[in-house]
Amino acid sequence: MKTVVVAISGGIAAYKSAEIVSRLKKTGVNVHCIMTKNACEFVAPLTFETLSNNPVITDMFNRESPWEVEHISLAKKADVFVIAPATANVIGKLAHGVADDMLTTTAMAVTSKILIAPAMNVAMYKSDAVKENIATLKKRGYHFIGPERGLQACGDNDIGRMSEPVDIVGKVKELLDMSNILEGKKIIVTAGPTVEKIDPVRYITNHSSGKMGYAIAEAAFDAGAEVTLVTGPTNIMPPNGVLVIKIKSTKQMYDAVSDEFAYCDALIAAAAPADFKPKITHDQKIKKDKGEYTLELSGNPDVALDMGIKKTNQKIIIFAAESENVIENAKSKLKKKNADMIVANDITQKGAGFAGDTNIASIIKKDGTVQSLDIMSKKELSGIIIEELSNLFKDS
Ligand SMILES: Cc1cc2nc3c(=O)[nH]c(=O)nc-3n(C[C@H](O)[C@H](O)[C@H](O)COP(=O)(O)O)c2cc1C
């Protein structure tokens, strides 16, 4: 998993950095935040701690983690170090080798790419000092984004506004080599439950909310793929830009995926299609005065299994919701369905499985490697799955 350090200095745009952290987390990267003392005057560290799910470093001499020299360990971890907003003060310190707080000390120890998003009043930005300092840092290979023109907090309408969070995150992804990693690929994602009719008022279904599949479809689209989402009934809005095929029964999901699969590069099967359907579907409501009614079930077609049999050079990622022997069962499912990767979760664990916003997953590949992940949001997990899918394409 990639690590991005977001460093926040004391400018009015500091509040916008919360969105940078939130967006980065959704792409599946690990985020650590450093704040200058002055940045803490604008936004509370708790905001960044909550969004990044990591402690925020504000103090050089914090003795809570004495076993590691914090600025060096963070500098080593960073795949990209982004300073947003970067004040005139921080830019000046970096240009002149000043390391008198955690942000500047860590930045000096970073060997990976550093991205600076300056934000300041137009007069400060146009000052000789800032111009020369930026030129010095550019010569040293620092990357810059912005500032932009627009209305500033001080009332001036000119250059100096920090670039928009979405653009800063786009630039970070570019520096991480993560942008458009699925460009040119056609992906089918299945999501949600299926519904099997018993009679005009009753049906069989399951607890799948569709959240995992929808998050994956969104992440695949954001990574540049053309995405078809085949979805059972859910209560969530489909992501923009994605072709949505709504189905009800497992047979309908099977038919929709079969029609599309030959034209696709990958299938990510995140749906929970019902394995069984009533043997007989009644046109009229079954009367309760019968007192007793035995429901006979028959098996449904297996979407992932049959696509696995048909696949040529396509990739298939499947899910396993297990309640016991999770890794063992997932490994045998991976093999049986001729898939390339399986995302397994133990639905009995708190924070994993169907309806919630989080998941606790293990990613198992064909070579038998198991990567056990901590609890994370379904959006974060989808970012990791998309990165793994792009690695599968690279490896083949
Ligand atoms: C309300 C307010 C807003 C500020 N906004 C900015 C700003 O957008 N950019 C900037 O370079 N400095 C700004 N400053 C000045 C910095 O906070 C000041 O230079 C400080 O020393 C920066 O500390 P730091 O770089 O260690 O965070 C602002 C100050 C105040 C009081």
CA of 101 to the centre of ligand 1 (A): 15
284 contacts 199 by C-beta, under 8 angstroms: yes
Q: What pLDDT, in 10s, does the model give residues 379-391? A: 889 999 999 999 9
pLDDT at 374 exceeding the cut of 90: no
- Please name each of the domains of the chain with its CATH number: 3-175 (3.40.50.1950), 186-395 (3.40.50.10300)
Give the contacts of 89 (CB within 8 A, at least 6 positions apart).
Answer: 9, 10
The model carries a pTM of 0.70
Whether omega before 85 lies within 30 degrees of 0, making that bond cis, reads yes
Closest atom of ligand 1 relative to the 124 alpha carbon: 11
Give the contacts of 73 (CB within 8 A, at least 6 positions apart).
Answer: none
pLDDT of 70? 64
- DSSP E strand boundaries for 17-161: 30-35, 80-86, 113-118, 143-144, 148-151, 157-161
Q: How many other CB atoms sit within 10 Å of the CB of residue 318?
A: 25
Q: What pLDDT, in 10s, does the model give residues 220-232? A: 998 999 999 999 9
pLDDT at 67 exceeding the cut of 70: no
Query: How many whole angstroms separate alpha carbon 127 and alpha carbon 47?
Result: 32
pLDDT of 344? 94
What are the tokens at 132? 């020369």
CA of 7 to the centre of ligand 1 (A): 14
**Catalytic pick among 33, 40, 154, 264:** 154
Q: What pLDDT, in 10s, does the model give residues 14-54? A: 999 999 999 999 888 899 999 999 999 999 999 999 999 99
pLDDT of 63? 60
344 contacts 319 by C-beta, under 8 angstroms: yes
Active site residue 154: yes
CA of 84 to the centre of ligand 1 (A): 12
* Residue 16 DSSP class: G
CA of 37 to the centre of ligand 1 (A): 11
Residues with CB under 6 A from ligand 1: 9-13, 36, 38-39, 87-90, 119-120, 124
Query: How many whole angstroms separate alpha carbon 395 and alpha carbon 391?
Result: 6
Which residue's alpha carbon is at the smallest distance from atom 19 of ligand 1?
Answer: 89
Give the contacts of 356 (CB within 8 A, at least 6 positions apart).
Answer: 211
Please work out, in degrees rounded to the nearest 5, the angle formed at the alpha carbon of residue 165 by the alpha carbons of 164 and 170. 100
355 falls in which pLDDT band (50, 70, 90)?
Answer: low
